[in-house]
Chains A and B, each alone.
Chain A
Amino acid sequence: MLKVEQLSVHYGGIHALQGIGLEVPDGAIVSLIGANGAGKSTALRSIVGLVKPSGGSISWNGERLTGLATKDIVSRGVCLVPEGRHVFPNLTVDENLTLGAYSRRDRAGIAADREKVFGFFPRLEERAKQKAGTLSGGEQQMLAVGRALMTRPKILMMDEPSLGLAPLVVKMIFGIVRAINQEGVTVLLIEQNARAALEIADHAYVLETGRITLQGSGKELLAHDGVRRAYLGEADPVA
């Protein structure tokens, strides 16, 4: 279980996260929704150690993650697919996947996971020798997810996986998130596409200007008046 308590982050004078708490039980899909600038990405980046929190604690199965280096957090199975995909454009698809498994030594397991990723995303196998920079946005997102799976995550955190993608691709990505979850990987999802994020979630939190203002099951929040007004208002149902 991932447990975040009283997490605070300051960027210079800006108090980006003001003591948020959230829990992600093993095997669950948890969504974090909120407007731009609410602090969603900051929360995920603090969990993997890319941002240094100014207060609070983050623990993973009882072990404190706060203060650990990103590489040590990732090798414990806590993995982030960053916003904007951030594949390595000058490396081939194959090399991107290999780097995902950078901290692993089990050749057989790595080969098996590569097959699994190609099973999820046959397109990546077709383009294995191509530079990642030549892929379309959707393919890059597939690669970013595939690369994350190569770390063999226990919890997969995804930052805006649907951003800027065609509806069909979004649908595919969400389908795969579900499939990954069914294999026992815990998922923590950030989305501006609130409807899709709530429909898939076991539990969800609403983050507003650095504070958690609401939480409940995905279904409850979908039916919540405030959420409907603020986040689902004009949104086209996608999923």
Chain B
Amino acid sequence: MTLPLLLQHLANALALGSLYALIAIGYTMVYGILRLINFAHGDVFMLGAYVAFYCVALFLLPWWASFVIAIVVTALMGVLLERVAYRPLRDSPKISVMISAIGASFLIENVAVVLFGGRPKGVAVPDILNVKLTLGAVSVMSVSLVIPICTFALLAVLLWVVGKTRTGMAMRAVSTDLDAARLQAIDVNRIISFTFGSGSLLASFGGILWSYKYPQLNPLMGVMPGLKCFIAAVIGGIGNIQGAVLGGFLLGAIELLTIAFLPTLTGYRDAFAFVLLIVVLLVKPSGLLGSRQVEKV
């Protein structure tokens, strides 16, 4: 393999990894707060892409306006999802909530098939993201560079919110001890809504960028990325935001580089994530950056 080709593969791996990271963060945030795997998260990702698509296709809005509207609308849908599918089951056994999550996922997918139609839709990629950048023998599309930049910017904002703001502090409190958080007069429901909202916002951000890089939509487009990003979150140590990002990049890199070096394995590309998951669970069950809480007596 030549160096320019390797660089090109690396650029693609970075872009795919960034998209995985954006989705994985949502899984990890929700799990951190509610100990719930939000199986419908991949479908929220799909909704984001569709909302942006329809803003352009139906309402003829410019792509950037559609982008903003789509992430806001999708964030609100994430909040609504928690309200109707998870909150009523807050005090029920974990398994009930999990089943509700799976149900919500199927519901969204099938409603999407009915509303949007099952046939794939082509996305008009904004011109600015569709520029071929050439440096020597390496050429990448501008969208592949924009994606990692967006991801790191969003990650920085998120880490600031979680680490430095009052709301972030409350999020960390709710995630470790729900009752103790209530005793500080924290509005736990508000914090949970905020968590779902921001996780869904990141997922829709990822979904829209995904549709610019792989410009085709279908109602089940969130299923496989959703599964893989859940795996990315587990690999990184679920509940840990940096871990989710690390897991996302790892997954993107392994997937694309294996294909690059061993093209005969291309048909197995979706299997790599699961193999990696098994290996990590065997070697370090808490995930790469996960830690077990030690209780002091």
A residues in contact (CB < 8 Å) with B: 48-50, 69-72, 74-75, 79-80, 82, 86-91, 95, 98-100, 102-103, 133, 135-137, 140, 147, 151, 164
Contacts and interface: CB of A to CB of B under 8 A. Distances in A.
Contacts of A86: 177, 179-180, 183
Contacts of A98: 166, 169
Given A102-B184, A102-B186, A151-B184, A50 B179 contact: yes
Interface in B155-203: 166, 169-170, 172-173, 176-177, 179-188
Contacts of A82: 179-180, 183
Interface stretch (B109-117, B139-147, B274-282, B289-297): B289-297
Given A70-B185, A99-B173, 7 more contacts: A70-B183, A72-B185, A86-B179, A86-B183, A91-B176, A98-B169, A151-B184
Given A99-B170, A99-B173, A74 B183 contact: yes
B184 A91 contact: no
Contacts of A50: 179, 182-183
A164 B185 contact: no
Given A71-B182, A71-B186, A90 B296 contact: no
Nearest to B188: A71
Contacts of A91: 169, 172-173, 176
19 contacts: A50-B183, A71-B186, A72-B185, A74-B183, A74-B184, A74-B185, A75-B185, A86-B180, A89-B295, A90-B172, A91-B173, A91-B176, A99-B173, A99-B181, A99-B186, A133-B293, A135-B296, A147-B184, A151-B184
A102 B165 CA distance: 12
Contact of A151 (B170, B180, B185, B296): B185
B297 A137 contact: yes
B176 A90 contact: yes
B169 A70 contact: no
Nearest to A104: B185
B145 to A, nearest CB: 35
A11 B173 CA distance: 27
A33 to B, nearest CB: 23
B140 to A, nearest CB: 40
Contacts of B295: 89
Nearest to B293: A89
Nearest 8 A-B pairs (CB), nearest first? A103-B185, A86-B180, A70-B182, A74-B185, A71-B185, A99-B184, A75-B185, A102-B184
Contacts of A103: 184-185
Given A50-B179, A82-B183, A99-B186, A164 B173 contact: no
Nearest to A74: B185
B33 to A, nearest CB: 13
A227 B199 CA distance: 56
B173 A88 contact: yes
Nearest to A136: B296
Interface size class of B (residues with CB under 8 A): 20 to 34
B184 A95 contact: no
Contacts of B169: 91, 95, 98-99
Contacts of A69: 182
Contacts of B186: 71, 99, 102
Interface in B25-71: none
B184 to A, nearest CB: 5
B185 A140 contact: no
Contacts of A164: 297
Contacts of B297: 137, 164
Contacts of A48: 183
Contacts of A49: 182
A133 B184 contact: no
B43 to A, nearest CB: 31
B179 A88 contact: no
Contacts of A71: 182, 185-188
Contacts of A74: 182-185
B177 A88 contact: yes
B180 to A, nearest CB: 4
B190 to A, nearest CB: 9
A140 B180 CA distance: 14
A137 B173 CA distance: 19
- Choose among B173, B176, B183, B293 the residue with the greatest number of A CB atoms under 10 Å from its CB: B183
A98 B166 CA distance: 8
Nearest to A51: B179
Contacts of A89: 176, 293, 295-296
Contact of B296 (A70, A75, A80, A137): A137
A98 B172 CA distance: 13
A74 B184 CA distance: 7
Nearest to A150: B184
